[in-house]
Chains A and B, each alone.
Chain A
Amino acid sequence: MSPVVNNLLNVVLILVCVVFGAALLTWLERRLLGIWQDRYGPNRVGPFGTLQIVADMIKLLMKQDWVPPFADRLIFIVAPAFAMFVVVAAFAVIPMAPGVGVVDLNIGLLFFLAMTSLGVYAVMFGAYASDNKYAMLGGLRAAAQMVSYEVFMGLSLMGVVMLAGTFNLRELVLAQADGWFIGPQIVGFFIFFMAGIAESHRTPFDLPEAEHELTAGFHTEYSGMKFAMFFIGEYVSVLMSAAMITVLFFGGWLGPAWLPPLGWFLLKTMTLVLLMILIRGSLPRPRYDQLMTFGWKFMLPLALINLLITSALILI
Chain B
Amino acid sequence: MKQKTGLGHYIYIVWDYFYSNIVTLVKVASHTFTKADTVEYPEQMPYLAPRFRGRIVLTRDPTGEERCVACNLCASACPTDCISLQKTEDESGRWSAEYFRINFSRCVFCGMCEEACPTYAIQLTQDFELAEYERQNMVYEKQHLLIDGPGKHPDYSFYELSGKAVSGRAKGAGTQEAEPVNLKSLLP
Q: Helix, strand, loop or mixed for chain A's interface? A: helix
Q: For A36, give its contact among B14, B28, B40 (CB under 8 Å).
A: B28
Judging by beta carbons under 8 Å apart, are B29 and A278 in contact?
yes
Of A5-13, A37-45, A88-96, A180-188, the one contacting chain B is A37-45
Of A65-73, A115-123, A157-165, A279-287, the one contacting chain B is A279-287
Distance of A278 Cα from B37 Cα, bound (Å): 19
> What per-residue 1/0 map shows which CB atoms of B22-35 lie under 8 Å from chain A?
00110111011011
Judging by beta carbons under 8 Å apart, are B28 and A281 in contact?
yes
Q: Do A40 and B38 form a contact, CB below 8 Å, given A283-B21, A283-B24, A298-B14?
A: yes
Judging by beta carbons under 8 Å apart, are A282 and B28 in contact?
yes
A177 within 8 Å of B by Cβ? no
A35 within 8 Å of B by Cβ? yes
Distance of A294 Cα from B34 Cα, bound (Å): 34
Judging by beta carbons under 8 Å apart, are B38 and A36 in contact?
no
Q: For B31, give its contact among A36, A40, A43 (CB under 8 Å).
A: A36
Q: For A35, give its contact among B24, B25, B27, B31 (CB under 8 Å).
A: B31
Q: Do A283 and B25 form a contact, CB below 8 Å, given A38-B37, A39-B36?
A: yes
Which A residue sits closest to B39, measured CB to CB? A40
Which A residue sits closest to B14, measured CB to CB? A298
Chain A residues near B40 (CB, 8 Å)?
40, 43
Q: Do A282 and B34 form a contact, CB below 8 Å, given A36-B29, A40-B40, A298-B14?
A: no
Q: Helix, strand, loop or mixed for chain B's interface? A: helix
> What per-residue 1/0 map shows which CB atoms of A273-316 lie under 8 Å from chain B?
00000110111000000000000001000000000000000000
Distance of A279 Cα from B21 Cα, bound (Å): 9
Interface residues on B, range: 10 to 19
Chain B residues near A38 (CB, 8 Å)?
31, 34-38
Chain B residues near A279 (CB, 8 Å)?
25
Chain B residues near A278 (CB, 8 Å)?
25, 28-29
Chain A nearest CB: distance from B64 CB in Å?
45
Which B residue sits closest to A43, measured CB to CB? B40
Chain A residues near B24 (CB, 8 Å)?
282-283
> What per-residue 1/0 map shows which CB atoms of A43-67 lie under 8 Å from chain B?
1000000000000000000000000
* Leading 10 A-B pairs by shortest Cβ distance: A282-B28, A39-B38, A38-B37, A282-B24, A36-B31, A36-B28, A39-B36, A282-B25, A38-B36, A40-B36
**Could you name 19 residue pairs across A and B whose Cβ atoms are closer than 8 Å?**
A35-B36, A36-B28, A36-B29, A36-B31, A36-B32, A37-B31, A38-B34, A38-B37, A40-B36, A40-B38, A43-B40, A278-B25, A278-B28, A281-B28, A282-B24, A282-B27, A282-B28, A283-B21, A298-B14
Q: List residues of chain B with CB under 8 Å of any chain A CB.
A: 14, 21, 24-25, 27-29, 31-32, 34-38, 40
- Given A36-B31, A38-B36, 15 more pairs with CB closer than 8 A: A35-B31, A36-B28, A36-B29, A36-B32, A38-B38, A39-B38, A40-B36, A40-B40, A43-B40, A278-B25, A279-B25, A282-B27, A282-B28, A283-B25, A298-B14
